Structure 1
Amino acid sequence: MSDGSVERALGALVVGDVDGARREVSRGGTPLARALAEHLRDDGHGSVYDQPAAFEAFIRGGGNVGLYAAVSAALADLYDRHRPTSVLDVGCGDGTALLPALAAASHHPGRLDLLEPSAPLLDAALREVGRWQDAAGSGTQVTSRPTTAQVLAADLAAGTGEDATWDVLQSTFALHTVEHGPRTEVLRRLRPRVDRLAVVEFDVPDVAVGSPEHVRFLARTYEQGLAEYTDDRDLVAQGFLLPVLTGQLRPGAVRATFEQPAGAWTRQLEDAGWADVAVRPLHDYWSSPAFLLTARGGAGAV
């Protein structure tokens, strides 16, 4: 439970008052207040993926265990119902969502393309996919791209990439890292190359970034989320959660997330030309409920 110091500190960060934020959390006694004080001690800069081990510890602990189980089950169901021959995973990370889905599904795609800008996470995903192939005797052809969705979409639109299409494009908690305007263009450029889209994101409150309502929401939910970790709490806080938290608010900080409510995702996909956009709840989570969004593109493959 927040003691108010984090909310006041975050409010100070919104207006660029780092010293004021430090003073507020120096008087706080909650796990998040102590973590924020440590984060701001060295001025609080850094990228979310400076420490891949922190991200991996985060997604393998706390509420993420149940969350990713639900995500993987939804992907496995998608594979078995639609039987895609080709899948593109945008922002695959280290494969935490992908690998259990492949293991649980009875149908496996003939081609699997992995897109991930973090080289250490992509290497980890490739190792795990290789182990799955050996165990399952799978003949799935795997390719990897150490880049972003923006670069891929631009290359395809310019004709500098290969002339690829995919039966399924899936993305789990990754497209929110692309700014809102560029994301619409990425989705528009990818649509002719994809038959079916499956996106998993969080249905965040519809409040203005940096507003008092937003600050209160972040203080409450991040306190709850951090409390779910014990042995890895410092690693998760400093290497992942705190950069994500402060990056949303602090002027000039590296922002790692551009989340939006589920309704805004629907409108954005429709604006980008996708059809049959549908959203269904997937899993309750400490931050916001997760949902699965599906849509039809222009490839017409499956």
Structure 2
Amino acid sequence: MTVEAFRAVVAAQGGSLLGPALTRYLESGAQGGVYATPAGFEAFISGGGNLPLYEKTSAALAGLYEQHRPDSLVDIGCGNGRALLPALQQSWHRPSRLDLVEPSAALLEQVLPQVPAAVEVHTHPSSLQAALAGLPEGVRWSLAESTFALHTLPPDERSEALARLRTRVDRLAIVEFDVPDEVPGGPEQLTRLARTYEQGLAEYVHDAEQFDLVAQGFLMPVLVGQLRPGAPRVTWEQSSGRWQEQVSAAGFRDVQVRALYDYWSAPAFLLTGVA
């Protein structure tokens, strides 16, 4: 079992935080649901390296608004607005129409009261695939953006969704992590995951309550989903080169990538393309 191989790697590296956290999670018998009950996710993005990460992300989005002046904007997987809302506040240009695609109703409810009053908001409490399938004919956006959300779609579903999205937008902006292309369950992947998750957990150790919520409510289920066959999986990350290839294959042109922030799990980047 890959989980047991991973635990051996963690023990060999002397993971003082990751080992006990992983053991506790496995013994609890918990099953996924990291976005359906988002307390762990919210605690995670509210601390550690996520603070400068989201500052850089929001600034990059605000720069795109000012550069391209979109009349309409769709944010795919907006979460609680951690990236979107500061970007709208920072930019001197705001779209007149904003669509929010977010499967978690609990997260979506947090965003709505904070959107600037002059912006017309449309909500889609569903996946991207469902939102596109139910979209009225003629609706399209000047800009589609997604921050740390499209990696939650399996690769084949993501390719199909990107191809459908291309027919509805003028421009695309994606912020994701540049994760090395590795053999799933291979020694390189297991070693990297052990090293990076230990580092990630260390950013929350100063607050015992937050540490427990982040570890058991978010990081451990995300980790185990990548390691245990049949476990609920919530992330399919890939290298920036693979992202470029996938977006280009969906029909987007002039696909470019630039570095955004050196995050603990992998460097974050901004990808842009033209439909």
Residue of structure 2 in register with 1:149 after alignment: 128
Q: Which residue of 1 aligns with 2:102?
A: 116
Q: 1:241 aligns with which of 211, 219, 226?
A: 219
Aligned to 1:102: 88
Structure 2 CA distance for aligned equivalents of residues 70 and 194 of structure 1: 24
- 3-state SS, counterpart of residue 79 of structure 1: helix
Off by >4 Å, runs of 4+ in structure 1: none
Q: Percent identity?
A: 55
- Which of these two proteins has the greater Rg computed from alpha carbons? 1
Matching of residues 1-302 of structure 1 within 5 Å: 11-12=3-4, 30-129=16-115, 133=116, 138-156=117-135, 161-229=136-204, 230-231=206-207, 232-297=210-275
Query: 1:13 touches 1:249 (CA, 8 Å); kept in 2?
Result: no
Q: Could you say if the C-alpha distance between residues 283 and 182 of structure 1 is closer, same or farther in structure 2, counting changes exceeding 3 Å?
A: same
- Structure 2 distance, partners of 1:257, 1:270, is 21
* Alignment size in residue pairs: 269
Deviation at 1:79, TM superposition (A): 0.5
Deviation per CA, 1:104-132: give whole Å up to 9, x if none.
00001000010000110111111322xxx
Answer with 220-229 or 29-38: which moved more. Answer: 29-38
Deviation at 1:153, TM superposition (A): 2.8
SS in 1 for 2:163: helix
Structure 2 length normalisation: TM-score?
0.93
Give the letter for the 1:290 counterpart.
A
Quote how far apart the aligned CAs of 1:46 are: 2.3
Over the residues paired in the alignment, what is the CA RMSD in angstroms?
Answer: 1.8
User: In structure 1, how many angstroms separate the alpha carbons of the residues matched to 2:125 and 2:137?
Assistant: 15
Gaps of 5+ in 1: 1-8, 15-20, 298-302
Distance 1:52 1:113 in 2: 21
| Displacement of 1:210 | 1.4
Relative to structure 1, the CA distance from residue 29 to residue 276 in structure 2 (aligned partners, 3 Å threshold; closer, same or farther) is closer
TM-superposed deviation, 1:60: 1.1
- Consecutive unaligned residues of structure 2, counting only runs of 5 or more, are none
Distance in 2 between the 1:227 and 1:244 partners?
A: 17
- With the length of structure 1 as denominator, give the TM-score of the two structures: 0.85
Q: Give the direction of change, closer, same or farther, for the CA distance of 1:145–1:56 in structure 2 (3 Å limit).
A: same
Structure 2: distance between partners of 1:57 and 1:239: 9
Shift of 1:208: 1.7
